[in-house]
Amino acid sequence: MSGRTRSPQPAVPRWLSALFGAPDKKFLSQADCEALVAQAERFAQGAGETPCKVTSWWSGEVRWARNRVSLASDRRNDELRIGRRIQGAEGGVRTNQIDAVSLEGAVRAAERLAYYGRTNPDEHREPPPRFEYLTPAIWSDQTFAQPAGERARAAQAIIAPAEQAGMVSFGYLAVQAAGHAVIDPAVGRPLYAPYTAAQCSMTVRDPEGTGSGWAGTSSYDWTRIDPAALARRALEKCLASRHPVTIEPGRYTVILEPQAVHGLVRRVVDAFYGRYDAERGPNPFHLRPLYSKLGLQVADTRVTIVQDPLDPDLGVLPFTDDGQPVRPATWIDHGMVTHLAYWRDYALEWLHDNDPIVDRWGYRMAGGSATVEDMIRSTQRGLLVTRFSNLDTLDPESLLMTGVTRDGLWLIEHGTISKAVKNLRFTESPLFVLNSIDLLGPPERVFSPDAPAIVPPVKAHDFSFTSTIDAI
């Protein structure tokens, strides 16, 4: 014995015990969020309101590279956005330091920003109605309770097939649970939504650098993700894409797998927020009077794109960061623009309406019955595309885009895949693709952790490829 005595552990502050309870608590409950905001409100000086938003999350993840796990972690964070609304001016700050001293400092900073902000004491805005909020399927007990050991075993099961085949695997899998709260006097009542998220993405590459395959998906429910199937898919694509040949760029019939379709249609969905202003710039679906494309045909009649928080396969939060409700909306119905998203400010100013239609970015695109194999058999000459990367919008008004193919591109001749080809750069508008559809397949969930999406594979003609790319 050294004779040394162990120093007593410091006492846990009362505010920390009240907020977090047990040490293994993963995120803040609704009561925790309301207590945290109430403490921030007590630091406010003078009149005005103190709108707050709280996002508290936990994430468990595993990363691997070159067939070896490189990171296994459990992380958590609490982020508080504090606003001060004083006589028509607003200021806000964001912090993840939620002790009393930091909270008071954040409130003072928000008040300083409000003081120097634009003030309009005569501004009067009609109060919002008492919105009704949906209760979508965004929670999975299996995702929340997944132990670290199960994540490690899933990673090993993914790595093993590629390693046995002499290939190199890189990837990432994660589960997350979070609570999102909006506590704003302008909303009328505290809002809180707990939700879970899960994702798995992997790339398998030839050690010689001649082939690459990818597979991935995401969902709020980990049990809907099959890591072994994703591993097989990525490995098969890698093996099939080795030693690609060069072909000339030009216009081709393309078969776009769902992930590639999502890369294009995502930009269309973003544009459904159709307001035209200096901040967002030009938009193909202008919402202002005389510029709106509401009621116009913009795509093939088989194209329908909807937002539905109650879709059990989607998983969309029921309200926005400003507390506005997310409701079902059909953006494109059989090729015709039927709705565009707009916020409450726009609704009051232009539409004299107090009930907005907001876009939470999750969407489902209707499909058909043709499988990818059916599409290949019906193609005399074309290209099969796994996915796109490095996407960039060149012209916001037409949504003209550019990007490159990635992780598997094959030439189709006489109804069969004949050879792997080198990647190509494209320059095309997704609206042109949606007007050039030959076949649609069954929609499926794709890898899109931040904005859930369910899209079908698509066969389209006259897709424009403009140059070759040497990268695998």
Q: Is residue 30 a part of any domain in this protein?
A: yes
Tell me, yes or no, whether 323 and 196 share the same domain. Answer: no
pLDDT, position 323: 85
Tell me, yes or no, whether 27 and 120 share the same domain. Answer: yes
Tell me, yes or no, whether 218 and 262 share the same domain. Answer: no
Q: Is residue 289 a part of any domain in this protein?
A: yes
Task: Identify the CA nearest to 365 among candidates 249, 285, 452.
Answer: 452
Which CATH number goes with the domain that contains 217? 3.30.2290.10
Tell me, yes or no, whether 277 and 181 share the same domain. Answer: no
Q: Is residue 134 a part of any domain in this protein?
A: no
Predicted structure pTM score:
0.88
Q: Is residue 229 a part of any domain in this protein?
A: no
Q: Is residue 233 a part of any domain in this protein?
A: no
Q: Residues in the chain with pLDDT < 70?
A: 1-24, 117-129, 274-283, 286-291
Last residue within a domain, chosen from 224, 254, 289: 224
Tell me, yes or no, whether 208 and 320 share the same domain. Answer: no
Tell me, yes or no, whether 41 and 73 share the same domain. Answer: yes
- 197 near 225, Cβ under 8 Å? no
Q: Is residue 130 a part of any domain in this protein?
A: no
Tell me, yes or no, whether 74 and 178 share the same domain. Answer: yes
Tell me, yes or no, whether 106 and 193 share the same domain. Answer: yes
pLDDT, position 374: 97
Tell me, yes or no, whether 346 and 427 share the same domain. Answer: yes
Phi, psi of 409 (to 5 degrees): -140, 125
Last residue within a domain, chosen from 192, 224, 256: 224
Task: Identify the CA nearest to 212 among candidates 200, 202, 222.
Answer: 202
Last residue within a domain, chosen from 160, 195, 224: 224
Q: Is residue 232 a part of any domain in this protein?
A: no
Tell me, yes or no, whether 211 and 256 share the same domain. Answer: no
Tell me, yes or no, whether 286 and 332 share the same domain. Answer: yes
Q: Is residue 7 a part of any domain in this protein?
A: no
pLDDT digit string, tens, across residues 414-441 = 999 999 999 999 999 999 999 999 999 9
The number of domains in the chain is 2
pLDDT digit string, tens, across residues 88-108 = 788 999 999 999 999 999 999
Torsion, Cα 93 99 102 103, to 10 degrees, reads 50
Domain containing 146 equals: 14-124+139-224
Tell me, yes or no, whether 303 and 385 share the same domain. Answer: yes
